[in-house]
Amino acid sequence: MTHWPQNVGILALEVYIPNTYVCHKDLEQFDGASTGKYTIGLGQQGMGFCSDIEDICSLSLTAVHGLIERHGIKYTDIGHLQVGTETLLDKSKSVKTVLMQLFQRHGNSDVEGVDCINACYGGTAALFNAVNWIESSSWDGRYAVVVAADIAVYASGPARPTGGAGAIAMLVGPNAVLSIDRGMRCTHMEHVYDFYKPDLSSEYPRVNGQLSIKCFLRALDITYKGYKAKALKLTGKKIDMTHFDYIAFHSPYCKLVQKSFARLAYQDYLSGEEDPTDPLHAFRSVVEDESYLDKDLERAFLKHSQAQFNQRTEPTLVIPKNVGNMYTATLYSCLASLFLSKTSDDLLSKRIGAFSYGSGLAATMYSFTVTSDLDQLRTFEKSLEHLKTHLSDRIKVEPALFESLMKEREITHHLPNRTPSYSPTQLCPGTYHILHVDEEHRRSYSRTSLLDTLTQPSNHHSDCAPHYCPHM
């Protein structure tokens, strides 16, 4: 259908990473954990976190304003805005409505979309909705913006090192740098209590760790098989992992990503020709339901797939390793990581597989094709270069202070009539933060180091930023 807008997907990414982090090696010592439990066992190096001065709305404001500012976009050029998050502040009012303050200052209230909620899958649901809007009769020629943002915090204990925080804003439109492959995605959804948040007064989830891993890998199996079936139907060719030049996964922790890659290798092995002399042949007889927690199988295919993992997925883990689980934003931080690891020449016209998972559960396997326009690709790559400096320049917080800040956040995060105790001087320039929460739970925000708050119109425009024109 040639009347559809072509190559719809991601034109630009803005990544917000908190300015404070705690080192996993230090956490191991502080927690009295065995050496390597977090760094090798989880595959993590550092965990970004937010104090009591930041919340999901401030993270999202920072990401959206940063996207607009860095890329010289006009607020009036945006007609659709959706937020994917599971970090709820209100059972009724969406984060998107808070973001509308930015648009109202520029006279644009005609912006469709609200929030998408289902654990870590919400960002992907919002992205698909934005793409569908552009490919529909509802599209008016303007861009869509998708925000994926979360603050992942756990109660003190073994799950706490798998936390993280961050936000990503995506500019979505035709002729994208990362276009979503049409007809090449498979979704699996079902009802399961692997991870959920029934206590609305707490930020902490209920987690069944073993069940969650099994659900994750089973959803990966189902969606990968479905993706391959759709690829065969569309192209007439049987595919395997080599169909993808790179593969990005939702990353609760990086060791699970490596296990996920190994799982795809296992699926490819099962669909290949049998060779009774192959040392892996015995694993063909493992019952599927038992295979998810079979350690011998896992170790065998981790070894079998190591070289491919290093080539196709390891480059996507720069941000997840150093920031941790950003929930809805994590998969898209993997895309950003790829551009920090590889050059435009490496990525030109490549295909990137993507697996999105949200507990409860919802999952999709889909893919992007990278543009063949080298100049456009280099502009995209250059816009992310600042993240390398930011990751190395963040404030490292000792575990004892981290625990104290987490305790204060636990006590105050839903309280009315408060002013945050954490100093905004510890935040990066251009970061939104909570100014005050009044007695009616209404929150006001300000932006650091720039003469620009939510009550003052911004005249800032970057003359050197790449300019995008609406596709009318």
* 460 belongs to a structural domain: no
Concatenate the DSSP letters of all residues of 54-88 into one string.
--HHHHHHHHHHHHHHHHT--GGGEEEEEEE-S--
* 457 belongs to a structural domain: no
Which active-site residues does the annotation give? 86, 120, 250
Residues 6+ apart with CB under 8 A from 219: 188, 357, 361, 363
* 459 belongs to a structural domain: no
The pLDDT score that the predictor gives to residue 2 is 54
* 273 belongs to a structural domain: yes
The dihedral of CA 27, 14, 55, 133: what is its sign?
negative
The pLDDT score that the predictor gives to residue 449 is 75
- Say if residues 136 and 113 touch (Cβ distance below 8 Å): no
The pLDDT score that the predictor gives to residue 169 is 98
- Which among 436, 5, 413 has a CA at the least distance from the CA of 204? 413
Considering the chain, what is the average pLDDT of its residues? 93
Q: In order along the chain (472 residues), what is the average pLDDT of each group of 10 residues?
A: 83 98 97 96 97 97 97 97 97 97 97 98 98 96 98 93 98 98 96 94 92 97 98 95 98 97 98 93 94 95 98 98 98 98 97 98 98 97 97 97 95 94 94 97 90 40 33 34
In the chain, the number of structural domains is 1
Q: Give me the residue label for tokens 């973001």.
A: 99
- Which regions of 42-163 does DSSP assign to beta strands (E)? 46-48, 78-84, 115-116, 143-152
Q: Give me the residue label for tokens 């970061």.
A: 431
Distance CA 456, CA 73 (A): 19
The pLDDT score that the predictor gives to residue 450 is 54
The pLDDT score that the predictor gives to residue 453 is 44
Bridge partners for 207 per DSSP: 195
- Domain of residue 186 covers 9-447
Distance CA 158, CA 162 (A): 8
* 132 belongs to a structural domain: yes
* 392 belongs to a structural domain: yes
The pLDDT score that the predictor gives to residue 200 is 85
* 222 belongs to a structural domain: yes
* 463 belongs to a structural domain: no
Written as six digits, the tokens of 127 are 């992205």
The pLDDT score that the predictor gives to residue 352 is 98
Written as six digits, the tokens of 273 are 């020709």
What pTM value is reported for the model? Answer: 0.93
Written as six digits, the tokens of 450 are 């720039």
Q: CATH no. for residue 238?
A: 3.40.47.10
The pLDDT score that the predictor gives to residue 451 is 46
